[in-house]
Amino acid sequence: MALKSLAEYELLAAQSHGHLCAGQILGLRMALYGIALLGIEDLAGADRKRLVTFVEIDRCMTDAITVVTGCRLGKRALKFRDFGKAAATFCDLREHRAVRVAALESSKQRARERYPEIADKNQQQMRAYREMSDAELFEHQWVTVAIGPQDLPGFKAPRVVCAQCGEGVSFGREILREGRPLCRACAGERYYTPV
Ligand SMILES: [Zn+2]
Ligand SMILES: [Zn+2]
């Protein structure tokens, strides 16, 4: 199955995200641009396992990117790097190449200039982001991304039990301390505080 039209993706994005917004359209356009640069066309079929996507923000556009790419956290094909930036890197596992696409800071201003008569910012940007060229919306850069086998979908590794809390740890995420395997929380990276 080939790629769908932007309008079809908009419907799917609205369903999965709960509403349609400018961020969704930007995310759809960003993902379509990224996979076009990689030459990937059949994400539902032959190219299904070709792509891993790194997203740099957890906002509306992130959901839209998963709609186009099919890359999901639960499939290990979506990686989150919390940089707070409207950017994503699309990694082609087959051709061993990757492209990072970032939304241009000027895109909001361009939307204003294009449709000054539309007072509602979201409506103004939605309309403009549908119509603006890829070059007006984005910059892209070819990059390499070090993805270890333990980070790829389908990686199999024995589950290790943390010597301190007894919880299981997958994908080699344990840390060895004085010969004992510890989970990251017990090793000092705990993000929560027991009460
Ligand atoms: Zn939204
Ligand atoms: Zn532990």
pLDDT tens per residue across span 171-189: 999 999 999 999 999 999 9
Contact present, 46 and 94 (Cβ < 8 Å)? no
The neighbour count for residue 20, using CB atoms within 10 Å, is 18
- Tell me the whole-structure pTM to 2 decimals: 0.92
Look up residue 7 and give its two tokens. Answer: 């309008």
Q: pLDDT at position 44, please?
A: 79
Whole-number Å distance, alpha carbon 195 to ligand 2 midpoint, is: 17
Whole-number Å distance, alpha carbon 64 to ligand 1 midpoint, is: 9
Q: pLDDT at position 42, please?
A: 83
pLDDT tens per residue across span 126-168: 999 999 999 999 999 999 999 988 899 888 888 999 999 999 9
Whole-number Å distance, alpha carbon 186 to ligand 2 midpoint, is: 4
pLDDT tens per residue across span 105-133: 999 999 999 999 999 999 999 999 999 99
